[in-house]
Structure 1
Amino acid sequence: MTPLRLAPRAAALALTLALAACASSTMVDRGAYVADTRYHAQSADSRIRFLVMHYTEIDEAESIKVLTTEAVSAHYLVPADPPLQNGKPVVWQLVPESQRAWHAGVSEWQGTTELNAASIGIENVNAGPRDTPQGRVWAPWPPAQVDAIIRLAKDIVTRYGIPPTRVVAHSDIAPQRKTDPGPLFPWKQLYDAGVGAWPDDATVKADLAGRAPDSPVDVRGLQMKLARYGYDVATDGVLDERTRRVIAAFQMHFRPRDYSGTPDAETDAIAEALLDKYMPAQPGEPDITR
């Protein structure tokens, strides 16, 4: 055979072997059957679309015990004083991110129910509230713990592309049952680090439009804004206890100095500013914030 005839045959043989090797590398033997993984559907996305923050209300040892032995779990547990390894804070990962953890319970956010199936849950060791004769006192968040929370949360939202309005409190997604992570949780610090949502002060001031911060507002209008932002709230204009709890959850997140659940102008302006920033009305769509 001449070299001219050998070259095409050699090339064909090499191509055949390459295709065979490629095909064999996509074959996954799962015992009872073999799965061929060479084709990939385009219509797919991540299970993880939300990040939910909690506090434990118990110490670290008890938190680990409860989260690993009882019918409740979270993907991560952040200690109050994280140890360092190579200068980096260490957190506990209790559940693989690919699996569901039981941290959210009955919940809803932006129309999605059963948040356990679509979120990562971060439990943070924090004592939560303590009632005293002078009123309710909330446990502080140590700087080292806040640093660890920010590092962990920033990594998660970056890897999964979680939008700012889907970084939420347990109290946001279950306002009738929960108050964690409480009014002292450092949401603004997280926002400054690139995690979660926060209103722009100038926009809040503009949306107040000269109103006194504590002046009353239309209840239905505020309900509609909170519902559009993500809360499970009625839009019937009735200021009942359920609506008050939703307003209180919103205030605890974005106006923690006063989370009484009273529908005032400042709360209304903050809701407007958040919608202006993250969910502006589309052309032809009525703007309920005005």
Structure 2
Amino acid sequence: MKIVPLLALTALVAGCATAPPPAAPRFDHSQTARGQSDRIKYIIVHYTVSDTPRSIKTLTTTDVSAHYLLTDTEQPFFYTLVDESRQSNHAGYSSWKIYNQLNSASIGIEIVNPGFTETPQGRVYAPFKQAQIDQLILLLKDIVKRHNIAPGNILGHNEIAPQRKQDPGPLFPWKQLADAGLIPWPEPSRVAARLPGFQEQLPEVTWFQRKLADHGYAVPQNGELDQATRNVISVFQTKYRPALYDGTPDAETAALLDVLTTPIPALPAAPAAPAAPVTPAPAAPAE
């Protein structure tokens, strides 16, 4: 007769016992938020100013890093130094359009290249190997596809830091990237059409500063042709007119800049073809 109270007491104690904590958080991956985007917005191209062994040492043992290092060997290849899901410290203090400190929004690619040498005749830059550029284009196409990088968001280090950086320099073949469909390029016919007007009347410095800012550069807006403004003009010329990059706001620079910052107007829609006349069907003969 005492068994029933004992069973009831056992059940009561079991009901009051604390459940053990879960070993791991529980997830349901069946829902996805609409409001999201890829963290990677830009690809930044650098040169190392050293050979491959020293570049590896610098990029693996100091606070400076990059996601990829492209060697200058006979058959160039990439070292993967930082996973794309993680931030590398390659951009430093930087700015482009609405973004500042581009480390967090970019992938950095270092290309082994000695950079430049100071000579009595001036600074002499070292060319890139075509095999390096071939490899680079393959990687850029892959990254652009995977991260949906917008046209115009493949940049040189000097473009995002024009007051302190020169890389990848005037011998980097940006036009090859344009020919590969990776970056926009000023249409020569549009540049030629604008050139006479700018040769006749060169815009004021304020125009150059505004257009450079529209393109993406961090540039003073003070109407003065100061050294900071000249530096930005020089960087622009280095990319789009590497034959002369002295920072002088000349007519050809104005034409290039105007084309790059002025969208091509959309063609008017073709008028709809008139509807074909409808011929009524003949009436059926009466029976």
When normalised by structure 1's length, the TM-score is 0.80
Residue type matched to 2:61 in 1? T
Partner of 1:191, secondary structure, is helix
Superposed CA RMSD: 2.0
- Within the alignment, does 1:188 sit opposite 2:194 as a pair? no
Could you tell me how far 1:165 is from its partner in structure 2?
Answer: 1.4
- Residues 116-135 of structure 1 mapped to structure 2, 5 A cutoff: 116-135=103-122
SS in 2 for 1:175: coil
Is residue 81–residue 144 contact of structure 1 (8 Å, CA) maintained in 2?
A: no
Q: Which residue of 2 aligns with 1:67?
A: 59
CA distance in 1, matches of 2:56, 2:253: 37
1:243 equivalent to 2:229? Answer yes
1:81 Cα shift? 2.7
Q: Which residue of 2 aligns with 1:11?
A: none
Correspondence for 2:190 among 176, 187, 203? 203
User: For residues 226-274 of structure 1, what are the alpha-carbon distances to aligned partners after superposition, in whole Å with 9 as ceiling and x for unaligned?
Assistant: 1001001122211111111111111111111111111111111111111
- Measured in 1, the distance between the counterparts of 2:23 and 2:68 equals 32
Superposition map of 1:211-230 within 5 A: 211-212=198-199, 216-230=202-216
Name 1:35's counterpart in structure 2.
27
Post-superposition offset of 1:111: 1.5
The within-5 A match list for 1:51-130 is: 51-81=43-73, 83=75, 90-130=77-117
Residue aligning to 1:285:
none
Contact 1:166/1:196 (<8 A) preserved: yes
Do structure 1's residue 166 and structure 2's residue 158 form an aligned pair?
Answer: no
- Counterpart contact for 1:82–1:148, Cα < 8 Å: no
Report the Cα offset of residue 101 of structure 1.
0.6
Q: Distance in 2 between matches of 1:170 and 1:249?
A: 10
Displacement of 1:211 in angstroms is 4.0
**Partner residue of 2:143 out of 144, 150, 156:** 156
Please tell me whether the aligned partners of residues 198 and 255 of structure 2 are also in contact (alpha carbons under 8 angstroms): no
Identity, % of aligned positions: 49
Please state whether the residue corresponding to 2:219 is helix, strand or coil.
coil
CA distance in 1, matches of 2:113, 2:23: 46
Cα distance change of structure 1 residues 82 and 97 upon mapping to structure 2, 3 Å threshold: farther
Q: Using the alignment, how far apart are the partners of 2:232 and 2:171 within structure 1?
A: 18
Name structure 2 gaps, 5 residues minimum.
1-21, 267-287
Give the match's secondary structure for 1:185: coil
Aligned length: 245
Question: Is 2:132 the counterpart of 1:145?
Answer: yes
1:194-253, CA deviations, whole angstroms, 9 ceiling, x for partnerless residues?
11221111111112134449x853110011111001001122211111111111111111
Partner of 1:26: none
CA 258–31 in structure 1, closer or farther in 2 if over 3 Å, else same: farther
Separation in structure 1 between the aligned mates of residue 169 and residue 234 of structure 2, nearest angstrom: 11
| Structure 1: gaps spanning 5 or more residues | 1-29, 84-88, 282-290
SS at match of 1:121: strand
Aligned partner of residue 152 in structure 2, secondary structure: helix
- Post-superposition offset of 1:157: 1.4
Deviation at 1:82, TM superposition (A): 5.7
Aligned counterpart in structure 2 of residue 257 of structure 1, from 221, 231, 243:
243
Distance in structure 1 (CA, Å) of the matches to 2:215 and 2:232: 12
Pairwise CA distance, 1:32: 4.3
d(CA) in 2 for partners of 1:148, 1:99: 23
